[in-house]
């Protein structure tokens, strides 16, 4: 009996090391976001420039930094909510989480590109696409974790599993493909995340509450 139980749990791991590793990667990514802005400071010493001009001449880079920092911080908070009740993780979940961390690590790259190519359509789509991929993978992670939990414990993951941010970022990505001239303004749709998740949450809850069909 013991051997059978061990075999059944052979593909499962504890979440502690996964969370510790994820926290470290996110912290490094947040730190890397500010490096492009730090590189602008030496320019302030050039003749005819000032500290204020460095800010006003680089609003796109500063705006992308603030947005990226806020989005990663939100992803990190959601990531912790996802694993708050998790007691074990599968190798599949580890793989999806690793892919999510990859998008977090990549994000400083398009963020820095915005400072050099603020009006480039490819840079815009690369940036939004990275945000969407990260959000979508986090939603998949929430679903995988939820499937391992009892029904009562899974209630707290309802909004995260709804993927409101992923839905809005997909919409923004489509807009950047169709109308790149709008620039980064469509990202303001992210302010609708909470209302959208309040709408999608009950729908996902009812869907997941249905008994599986044979």
- Global confidence as pTM: 0.77
Q: Please compute, for residue 191, the number of CA atoms within 13 A of its CA located in the half-sphere on the CB side.
A: 3
Distance CA 180, CA 119 (A): 9
Residue 45 pLDDT level (bands cut at 50, 70, 90):
low
Mean of all residue pLDDT scores within the chain: 79
- Write down the domain spans for the chain: 12-208
Lowest mean pLDDT among 59-73, 122-136, 167-181: 59-73
Give me the helices (H) in the chain, please.
2-8, 16-33, 35-38, 51-56, 59-82, 91-106, 108-116, 121-146, 151-154, 158-162, 164-178, 193-209
**Average pLDDT value for residue range 7-28:** 79
pLDDT value of position 111: 83
CB atoms within 10 A of CB 45: 8
Residue 194 pLDDT level (bands cut at 50, 70, 90):
confident
């Amino acid at each position: 009996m013991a051997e059978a139980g061990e075999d059944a749990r052979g593909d499962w791991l504890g979440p502690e090391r996964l969370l510790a590793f994820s926290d470290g990667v996110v912290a490094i990514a947040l730190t890397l976001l500010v490096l492009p802005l730090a590189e602008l400071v030496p320019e302030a010493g050039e003749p005819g420039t000032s500290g204020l001009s460095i800010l006003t001449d680089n609003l796109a880079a500063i705006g992308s930094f603030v947005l990226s920092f806020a989005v990663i911080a939100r992803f990190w908070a959601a990531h912790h909510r996802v694993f708050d009740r998790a007691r074990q993780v599968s190798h599949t979940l580890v793989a999806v989480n690793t892919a999510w961390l990859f998008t977090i690590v990549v994000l400083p790259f398009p963020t820095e590109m915005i400072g050099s190519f603020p009006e480039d359509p490819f840079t815009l789509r690369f940036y939004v696409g990275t945000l969407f991929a990260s959000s979508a993978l986090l939603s998949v992670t929430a679903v995988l974790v939820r499937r391992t939990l009892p029904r009562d414990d899974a209630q707290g993951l309802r909004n995260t599993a709804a993927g409101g941010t992923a839905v809005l970022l997909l919409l923004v990505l489509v807009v950047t493909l169709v109308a790149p001239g709008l620039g980064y303004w469509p990202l303001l749709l992210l302010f609708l995340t909470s209302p959208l998740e309040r709408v999608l949450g009950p729908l996902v809850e009812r869907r997941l509450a249905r008994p599986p069909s044979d």
